[in-house]
Amino acid sequence: MAHLLGGLAAPFLCKPISASSSSNYNYTSASSFDSLYIKRAAELADKSAGFTAPHPNFGCVIAVPNGGGTVVGEGYLYAEGTIPAEVQAVEAAGEQCRGATAYLNMEPGDCHCDNSAVSALIKAEISRVVVGIRHPLQHLRGNAIHALRSEGLQVDVLGEDAQNKTIEDAIKSCLLVNAPLLYRAACQVPFSVLKYAMTLDGKIAASSGHASWISSKKSRTRVFEMRGRSDAVIVGGNTVRKDNPRLTVRHGGDHLPRRIVLSQTLDLPEEAHLWNVSEVPTIVATQRGARRSFQRLLASKGVEVVEFDILDPRDVMGYLYDRGYLSVLWECGGTLAASAISSGVIHKVHAFVAPKIIGGKNAPSPVGELGMVEMTQALELIDVCYEQV
């Protein structure tokens, strides 16, 4: 089973955020371990992906400036409202914080309304702070860096005054771990990933509609992990009718994403796994005025129904943006996938390609009609990578 992924959006994830006029990064004084520890901070931050929304994923590493750059404390933000990564790392390091260097994958933001992250570093007498990237939100960008420098701490922003492959890789790690927040800040829509499994000849089901199973058990486990890192999972009405999915993560303790169904006409079954909202909510987005009686039925089951004048993926993404969603996973069929791509709301594609051939003139494909008539119109993915699963 091959796992292919690539981006449909601008490749800013591979580029460092540009320096501001206040940058005073001194590369000659930077430790050769800076990039290594920034990548470690990003790895720590990634442990809580899916749990911290609407806040970023934060990680912190504290190391003493000896010959080996020994790590004395680590921490990461577990979930929204929990202890900041910097506070955890300071508590773990204890007295060894004095004169040490703190490595942060992202500039802290005042998400606790008490500047606790910055205060912890100052009170612990940290002497130097290395930041992977500045905070992407304009009202927070630069605030923590300014506060730390005002207290006499040396603050370096990785890559703002020098570049090499190691630094670029470390910065990319910081960008990737908070890709949902970065895309949300830049595009004013949640970060959207289209996921599908297909045969080698590009089919997501047989001509009869039968699709169990194209993918392997390992790839399905990977999908559960992807769901656990998302704020919501979107399907269309056809998927509900044919597959009756649960859209769970099937791993105890994992983050449970909201389930969202897009259906213009509400031609949906009265009984479906998604109408059971005892563990996780379901939202049904539809066109205004569609099947009022069925809307009342869904409401009686605890399903939230949201009406749109025109059910367009971009309008739905705008609605989810207003509700604070950072990341959305699209697990829909070809028709809705084509509509989402045409609307410009898909940023990344995860394709699981099975070593199978099913054939069939009428067998469905992952993406429906896009209105393209020449190969020169085809959308080209960027930052493509693949692996065997």
Question: For residue 16, what pLDDT is reported?
Answer: 34
Question: For residue 251, what pLDDT is reported?
Answer: 62
Residue identified by tokens 């990680």 is 59
Task: Kindly list the averaged pLDDT for each block of 10 residues, start to end, along the chain of length 389.
Answer: 66 37 40 86 94 90 84 93 94 96 93 79 97 92 94 93 84 94 92 95 89 86 91 96 89 79 97 96 97 98 98 96 95 95 94 92 92 92 87
Residue identified by tokens 């080209």 is 380
CB 170 within 8 A of CB 327: no
Question: Which SS3 state, helix, strand or coil, does residue 242 take?
Answer: helix
CB 353 within 8 A of CB 200: yes
Catalytic residue, chosen from 43, 74, 86, 307, is: 86
H helix intervals, the chain? 34-46, 85-93, 116-123, 143-150, 165-177, 179-187, 217-228, 237-243, 292-300, 313-322, 334-342
DSSP 387: E
CB atoms under 10 Å from CB of 269, counted, come to 11
Domains of the chain, first to last: 17-162 (3.40.140.10), 183-388 (3.40.430.10)
pTM: 0.85
CB 164 within 8 A of CB 202: no
CB 173 within 8 A of CB 36: no
Question: For residue 383, what pLDDT is reported?
Answer: 86
Q: Which of 210, 123, 164, 138 is nearest to 16 (CA)?
A: 164
Question: For residue 29, what pLDDT is reported?
Answer: 41
Q: Say if residue 213 is preceded by a cis peptide, omega within 30 of 0.
A: yes
Annotation says 80 is catalytic: no
Question: For residue 111, what pLDDT is reported?
Answer: 58
CB atoms under 10 Å from CB of 92, counted, come to 16
